[in-house]
Structure 1
Amino acid sequence: MKNFRNITLAFFALISLNSCSNDDADGQPAAVSGTTQITFDSKVGAADFALNTPFTISGQSYQFDRLRYWVSDVKLVSDKNETYALSNSFFLLEETTEIKVQDGKYTYPAQKREAIDLKDIPSGSYTKLIFSVGVDAIHNDNMSIQDGELSQLNGMTNISWMWHTSYIFSSLTGKNMTPATPVAIAVETGLNTNYRTVEITLPSALVISAGKSSKLNLNVDVEKIVKDIDLVASPKISAKTPELMTKVADNYKNTVFTVKSIE
């Protein structure tokens, strides 16, 4: 009888231990997490974006060889108004030909990257996506802090007197092919004042749960990057044209990104 009682007690202890293992430190059920992918599908109006392909913008024919921008500080907001922030989230979205870095000592290869994968997200229904275009002041002012994908070897840094001084937040380069002699264009943003946060309210909930793959597809309209900007008069936009750079940064915040679909 004594042995039976000991076996019974051990049995219930095992059940209790197993139950506790599925709870967190407060005795509450452990949160179940899932994954999702966010795609950034580049377009020029309704056409798919491609390098070295003619596109008409404001009556001019352009061919691009580079589209690059930092997506950082990614957050998802649930239908319960709870915010999940992805730590160390610095992603370089790009479609580019190869780039010579450090006076040609290093070559950054041609790349195409239009998606980021988010892991270990608490299960739930998410109704808003928040992210920033650029690099926050802490990292931008101290390039020795290289979280996420930040690096000085990707050709997205400004160099002054042989020193890397800050990050380029976004870069769109190519040529205006309309003139008899094509004109090079370069549309860049940078500087802490042009760090922009994008907030997108989703038309339907993005549902994330364990064992289920979900996907949020965004349109990225390259034509909207240069909205209300005369590239004929100002083919080079940089820190030397601060008002135009700010206008480009505002375009990224307000008009460039829209929801394509939720899967």
Structure 2
Amino acid sequence: MTAKKMFTREEFEELRRESAAGMAADQGLRQKALEVLVEADKHRWIHQTTWLGEPILNLPQDMFALQEIIYRTRPKYIVEIGVAWGGAMLFFSTLMEILGGEKIIGVDIYMPPDLKERLASHGRLSQRLELINGASLDASTLDKVRSIVGECREVMVILDSYHTHEHVLNELNAYFPFVGKGQYLVCCDTIVEDIPEQEHRTREWGPGNNPKTAVLEFLKHHPEFQVDHPLENKLLFTCNPSGYLVHKG
């Protein structure tokens, strides 16, 4: 019986990169994946994931991508604009409990008391959470974020609130200064540009007016930020195409 040849780790990583690039270049496969996302959204697929009992309004594939970024970059602070049910904040705090880090800062204009109570019920994980109840672009909100992070720029920012072009572009311009070299500015739900107008969930945004159009405009003026294409190549299913921006300096 012939012994099976084992890859070295370097060989396996090269195989992964080549395979991911091939998957990204397979337009037929990518179209089928997009069609699955469009149809599954009618059944609120992105609402089905939870962490420690709290919903995460995102795909598991994107959450694993964020995990990979956090592992590599070790941010001391994560600023999440758009808290929703708080599951993502708990997910990030769990990672920081293992990897180290200071605070998860959650900003949302709507933050009911029961949400605050649930997020406060997770012991040491809760101690790392900082909630700011306010509009993301208010001067008072930005001042509160600055007061927490100080001069630190080991900061990841995740934008996931109101998805019109104007609002997201304003958020990108307001929050990018917090993100230092090697860290990430993540813009969520850029997929809105690539899918048909949602008839089952009417929104103020859609093709031509969404986070991806804002990202493309932002990148014209900020060449220090680049889309992390190798990361995106691995994500057959993602709500954030062209939304993983890394500060290259």
TM-score, scaled to structure 2: 0.23
Larger Rg: 1
Structure (1 or 2) with the greater helix fraction: 2
Which has the higher relative contact order, 1 or 2, with Cα contacts under 8 A spaced 6 or more apart? 1
Structure (1 or 2) with the greater strand fraction: 1
TM-score, scaled to structure 1: 0.22
